[in-house]
């Protein structure tokens, strides 16, 4: 199969992709989803390797599948360059954070009450909230031109904030709506 790309990264670009994801791994305070805006900026806006619509569809695929949300990184990697792309993005996003976690787990655990760690965690909390909202906003881009999809997105936010319904049902319902009016 051919990966769904607007234009594929050339051979020499893969070093840059790896560097970008290695960096994102270290910046992913609060989870992989908080790096969505930066991945979107890099893959869609800057390099045009994916369209807005492809980017959102790929994150949706990962969300519809079981497993950690992080797997959207694998799907994006596959999308820009098949197995090689997946390998590069997954190694990039996992290597620094897992190494750091193994090295720092005991260190951080012993110092979780210290002023520095507390200032880091609480001080950056507003920024991570802003990042999560940005992720949702950017992933919604393909939906803003279609009133049905926009309504679906708004309804999802309302239902999700007010109830504890399992997200998989919402995703299934979204797929159904999209089949008719997407």
Partner 1 sequence: MSTPDTPLAPDAAAPPAPDETPSVLPEAAATGGQAQAEAARAPRSPGEIFRVFTRLALQGFGGVLPITQRELVERERWLTREQFLELLAVAQVLPGPNVVNLSLMFGDRAFGWRGGLAALGGMLAAPLGVVLVLTVAYAHYAQHPVVAGVLRGMGAVAAGLIFATGVKLLPALRRNVLGPAAAYAFAALMFGCIALLRVPLPWMLAGLGAVCFTLAWRRLKP
- Interface positions, 150-179, toward partner 1 (CB under 8 A): 150, 152-157, 160-161, 164, 166-168, 170-171, 173-179
Tokens representing 143 are 């939906």
Distance, in Å, from the CA atom of 142 to the CA atom of 80, rounded to the nearest integer, reads: 19
CB of 118 to partner 1, least distance (A): 6
Separation of first and last alpha carbons in the chain:
25
User: Which residues between 48 and 67 bind partner 1 (CB under 8 A)?
Assistant: 53, 56-67
Binding residue for partner 1, selected from 17, 34, 49, 81, defined by CB under 8 A = 34
**Which of 15, 118 has the CB closer to partner 1?**
118
List the one residue from 9, 17, 36, 49 that touches partner 1 (CB under 8 A): 36
Question: CA 127 to CA 33: how far, in whole Å?
Answer: 13
User: Packing angle between helix 115-123 and helix 125-139, nearest 10 degrees?
Assistant: 30
Binding residues for partner 1 restricted to 73-102, rule: CB under 8 A = 74-75, 78-79, 86, 94, 96-98, 100-102
Question: Do 149 and 50 form a contact (C-beta atoms < 8 A)?
Answer: no
Asked if residue 6 binds partner 1 (CB under 8 A), the reply is no
Q: What is the CA radius of gyration of the chain?
A: 18
> Does 132 help bind partner 1 (rule: CB under 8 A)?
yes
């Amino acid at each position: 199969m051919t990966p769904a790309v607007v234009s594929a990264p050339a051979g020499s670009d893969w070093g840059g992709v790896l560097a970008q994801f290695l960096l994102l791994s270290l910046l992913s305070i609060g989870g992989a989803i908080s790096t969505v805006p930066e991945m979107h900026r890099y893959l869609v806006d800057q390099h045009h390797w994916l369209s807005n619509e492809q980017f959102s569809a790929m994150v949706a695929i990962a969300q519809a599948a079981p497993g950690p949300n992080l797997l959207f990184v694998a799907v994006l990697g596959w999308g820009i360059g098949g197995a090689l792309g997946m390998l590069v993005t997954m190694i990039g996003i996992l290597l620094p954070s897992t190494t750091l976690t193994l090295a720092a787990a005991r260190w951080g655990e012993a110092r979780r009450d210290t002023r520095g760690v507390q200032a880091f965690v609480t001080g950056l909390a507003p920024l991570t909230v802003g990042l999560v909202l940005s992720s949702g906003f950017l992933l919604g881009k393909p939906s803003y031109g279609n009133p049905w999809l926009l309504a679906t997105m708004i309804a999802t936010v309302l239902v999700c904030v007010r109830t504890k319904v399992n997200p998989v049902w919402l995703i299934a319902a979204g797929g159904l709506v999209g089949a008719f009016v997407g």
